[in-house]
Amino acid sequence: VHLICVFPVLDVKLCMILEYCVRGDFRNIIDEFQQLPQSEKLMRGWEYTAQITRALDHLHSHNVMHRDLKPANILVNQDGTIRLGDFGLSREMNEDYYLTIAGTKVYMAPEVHLLKRMNKSSDMFSLGVIIFQLITGHHPYEADSEE
Domain ranges of the chain: 22-136
**From CA 137, how far away is CA 128, in angstroms rounded?**
13
Q: What is the pLDDT of residue 14?
A: 61
* Residue with the larger pLDDT of the pair 7 and 9: 9
**Section 106-122 average pLDDT:** 74
Catalytic residue among 11, 25, 68, 96: 68
| More confidently predicted of 55 and 111 | 55
- Reported as a single tens digit per residue, the pLDDT across 19-45 is 788 999 999 999 999 999 998 999 999
State the fold for domain 22-136.
Transferase(Phosphotransferase); domain 1 (1.10.510)
Most confident of 7-16, 52-61, 106-115: 52-61
In the structure, what pLDDT confidence band is assigned to residue 57 with cuts at 50, 70 and 90? very high
Q: In this predicted structure, what is the pLDDT of residue 88?
A: 73
68 is annotated as an active-site residue: yes
- State yes or no: pLDDT of 52 exceeds 70: yes
> Has residue 4 got a pLDDT over 80?
no
Q: What's the confidence (pLDDT) of residue 141?
A: 79
Burial 81-103 (b: 16+ CB within 10 A, else e): ebbbbbbebbbebeeebeeeebb
Distance CA(69)–CA(90), nearest Å, equals 10
Query: Tens digits of per-residue pLDDT, 76-94?
Result: 999 999 999 887 777 777 6
